[in-house]
Structure 1
């Protein structure tokens, strides 16, 4: 199946429209949802894992982090591979690997087996996150692409927020292995639908694969994300943090230098000469920094301060994700972003998001908290699709996989930094405000256990609430600054022609006439 079969012309775009494009979007969003969900669904299963597998704290950390570590390390390489070898082919490979990892995780009976299975799922997740966005860019023309990207982004938000409540529902009735085995019917259906519906596409030419670039980017990104995730637990001055951080940054510096000199780079450094691209990337990092950090704090606030169960806490956060989904699914986001333009949409959306963070930080009950969640959802609904569209429109469409890899990598860095940095602020503020009776306690439960009187317990809760509020306000400031900076960079760039030079030895692939036709239509 090719994009030119049975399609109609998109208005004023010069690109054809696949009649199956919305069905394709539904299928890839289903796959995307499963991949994103596995970033958070396991958090509520930690007590069950500790009991059933006799897991230590270190074991649990590796089980939880193995997925995100492998995924973040491979995103750049996965995006480049999708452009080179075919986005449909890599999407099918990602589904297969993700399904196999899910089966292994569901049947695991030791911590080592579960950690290895989660790492395998991370490989599949990296392929899914990049290929799904790349397929959206290829299937939808410029007129419909903002709405399609908005739906894709809404599924991201829904998957991230739905993890705790879905995990809680599953664990209320089934063994924790069901969290992974539930992916299998989704994977089987998606494999069949992708094979039938999704057209193949890839970048023309490209030269030999940049194997050294793949190795350097994977090692460097994995080391940096590992350092960030270990910071709150081990201490930022610990060798367990400093060594991987320094090593990862050094490897990434070597990677950047290599990409400047290799003839066929995995990630073309010319992308970063475009202010639109840089501005959008800044927005990606800071919006995910604030969102991930604040939502991480909110789950603790609802459980530790308000006394909700993990399932109830997840359900109380649902208005945030539902607002994002409704605004994008109805097409309202695409219309607003189209009228405002990327710079103003990003600035407005991230300002609303920051306002929601402030409302949440200052809330004393669920009413003000609900207002904050609605503001956060509205801000995300406007800012996220505009940022992703800005990233993808700043590079040639035939490098959509590479753009998706950069977008996913920056989002992973923002997520990890947000949780680590805002969590560190919470811990520092909490420790500074603890009463003398609980001084030195490393957690809220430990501080409450050390408190001797009701007044001490009230002071402990007040210290924890103050720490959360301070961290949430810092997240609001980061998002607001990020929105303004991204908007300024995007506006100052104006309408700039893509600075990426064409490959030197582009030539047709005799075995891929459909992809060649797609590339020719894109560049018309």
Structure 2
């Protein structure tokens, strides 16, 4: 009885909202980094001569490491203190940002992004895992919404600030902006966040971590290299086979160990599986969208980096509005209806965007971006909360880790697969007739490179062909996103548990979770 009373006192403690502010500061850092880099990629492609594949790696090096290390990072937080490891993650993220700001080569940028991925792997799961110890089931949806909104808030602010920096300073300044934000997050966590831990959590499995990282890395590398080498290339086939073998080895190992790091049996919970699928699909679409949009806004429509950041605001605005209103709408209509509807809205927006032509202009883009933002917000927040609520309390920690890992894997595959589809389509549609072989190959590397070649040779037809080829490739990417969102919406509507069952499960999980988390909270305070 004393345990429950203690947890109730924790839930009534106003400091939990200040602690949430520390998490908001941490998530802002991750949001900043995501969109600042995407807006900077066209500029970096010009300054560093980065191909589309190298741009994909600049984005994916971060995401692959992020996804691979998230589960062991969460376990380290459980065993050694979540606040301590969260601060450590922000310090590593800050160090990677400093390296990125000083880099003068594509490979150094990729290395810096890898270091930043290590830091982000500590920040993201630990920021989410402390929420159950701070908030009860009645407040958890609001807390998840606030943290998600904080991450989303960094998305529009990142391109705007990053665009301003790109227009006035060198491209490395987009990494440097992370330094004060990480410092604020570190300070807030140290002074506002209570320490919590769970010494009984599973130990970090080094072999499983290695299998995850190498398997995912091989898969991403194969997808990125396929447009250049061809899907039948021996290296691509070997990497694909290696990825399949490594992932299979991971699954077999995790099924045999007594306390798995990656608990695959959680996918046997229908509510968790389908909510996780919905959240992962949203990450897949969002990552792909944020990869293909900046070159369109900059190279095709002719905006500078700052203007590109401003023109992403309609999507971010829709996302923030939806995240803010999701709790009330879920309470009235139920999570299944809201998630399915959000995915349908997202599918509609993507299909609408796939109809973009070279002459469409920004007004049409702003329209479907706004709709896409609403779809994102109304699907991802209730899906994440519903996934965790569908699990028994004693599986909440491992379930949170699996949820966040699959979301990041979805993002990595989204960038790799959709970026490769775009790269292959662009190269096939680009007309390089009359150009020397070397210049033709350079022009096919990216729309930015094609425009640079067109400016150097004075070839207006090449620039026009590059715009048409890129818009066609972007349309295919958006069409794939729309079909994927629609299929997921149908699965959610057909198979997600009904609202009453979901609420009962949440209530049971919440009550049991309160009793389970309290000792860890008490321990962290000692």
Question: One fold, TM greater than 0.5?
Answer: yes
8 A Cα contact 1:228 1:416, kept in partner: no
CA distance 1:408–1:225, shift in 2 (3 Å): farther
Change (3 A) 1:21 1:242: farther
Question: Does residue 351 in structure 1 map to residue 344 in structure 2?
Answer: yes
2:86 is equivalent to residue 91 of structure 1:
yes
Conserved 8 A contact 1:136-1:148? yes
Q: What aligned pairs does 1:146-161 form with structure 2 within 5 A after superposition?
A: 146-161=141-156
Mapped to 1, the partners of 2:416 and 2:429 lie a distance apart of 20
Q: What does residue range 135-154 of structure 1 map to in structure 2 within 5 Å? A: 135-154=130-149
Partner of 1:487: 493
- Equivalent position of 2:326 in the other structure: 333
Partner secondary structure for residue 39 of structure 1: helix
Q: Residue 391 of structure 1 aligns with which residue?
A: 387
2:377 is aligned with 1:381: yes
Question: In 2, Cα distance between the equivalents of 1:101 and 1:434?
Answer: 36
CA gap 1:240/1:127 in 2 versus in 1, 3 angstroms: farther
The answer to whether the 8 Å contact 1:76/1:409 transfers is yes
1:17–1:141 Cα contact (<8 Å) kept: no
- Tell me the equivalent position of 1:12: none
Is 1:128–2:128 an aligned residue pair?
A: no
Q: Secondary structure at the match of 2:497?
A: helix
**Structure 1's 229 and 400: CA in aligned 2 closer, same or farther, altered over 3 A?**
farther
Distance change (3 Å), C-alpha of 1:289 and 1:45 = closer
Distance in 2 separating the partners of 1:66 and 1:94: 17
Shift of residue 302 of structure 1?
2.2
Q: Distance in 2 between matches of 1:103 and 1:460?
A: 35
Change (3 A) 1:59 1:293: closer
Residue 276 of structure 1 and its aligned partner are, at CA, apart by 1.0
Partner of residue 503, structure 1: none
Q: 2:250 aligns with which of 255, 259, 262?
A: 255
Q: Which deviates more, 353-362 or 38-47? A: 38-47
User: Structure 1 residue 107: deviation in Å?
Assistant: 4.1
Q: How many residues align?
A: 500
Alignment of 1:201-280 (within 5 A): 201-203=196-198, 205-206=200-201, 208-280=203-275
Matches within 5 A, 1:458-473: 461-473=467-479
Mapped pair 1:476 → 2:482: yes
- Is 1:420 the counterpart of 2:416 in the alignment? yes
The one-character-per-residue Cα deviations of 1:358-406 (angstroms, maximum 9, x if unpaired) are 3323352333322212211111111110111122223344554433332
**What's 2:511 paired with?**
none
Cα separation, 2, equivalents of 1:147 and 1:240: 47
**Tell me, which stretches of 5 or more residues in structure 1 are unaligned?**
10-14, 499-508, 520-524
| Correspondences of 1:63-82 after superposition (within 5 Å) | 63-82=58-77
Q: How far apart are the structure 1 equivalents of 2:309 and 2:14?
A: 37
Mapped contact 2:278–2:383 kept (Cα < 8 A): yes
Deviations 1:74-105 (A, max 9, x none): 12222233334332222122122222322333
Q: Deviations over 1:461-519 (max 9, x none)?
A: 44543333233122111111112213333227955969xxxxxxxxxx9xx99516489
Contact 1:83 1:398 in 2 (8 A): no
Root mean square deviation of aligned Cα: 3.8
Name the CA distance, whole Å, in 1 between partners of 2:247 and 2:146: 33
Distance 1:159 1:397, change over 3 A: farther
Tell me the equivalent position of 1:515: 520
Equivalent position SS for 1:144 = helix
Counterparts in 2 of 1:335 and 1:205: CA distance versus 1, 3 Å: same
Match status 1:170 vs 2:175: no
Residue 149 of structure 1, CA deviation: 1.0
CA distance in 1, matches of 2:94, 2:240: 32
Map of 1:504 onto structure 2: none
Mean CA deviation greater in 381-390 or 31-40: 31-40
Moved more, 206-215 or 404-413: 206-215
Q: 1:26-55 CA distances to partner (integer Å, 9 max, x unpaired)?
A: 221221121233234234445766787798
How much has 1:456 moved relative to structure 2? 8.1
Query: Does structure 1 conserve the Cα–Cα contact (< 8 Å) formed by 2:300 and 2:467?
Result: yes
Q: CA separation of 1:17/1:351 partners in 2, compared to 1, >3 Å: closer, same or farther?
A: farther
Structure 2: gaps of 5 or more residues: 507-515
Question: Can you list the C-alpha shifts for 1:304-346, whole angstroms capped at 9, x where unaligned?
Answer: 3322223212211111112222443xx4221112222221111
Partner of residue 18, structure 1: 13
* Higher fraction of helix: 2
1:104-146 alpha-carbon deviations (Å, 9 max, x no partner): 3334566665544332221111111111111223212111111
Residues in 2 aligned to 1:4 and 1:193: alpha-carbon distance in whole angstroms: 28
Cα distance between partner residues in 2 of 1:99 and 1:481: 39
For structure 1, which segment, 391-400 or 350-359, has the greater mean C-alpha deviation from structure 2 after superposition? 391-400
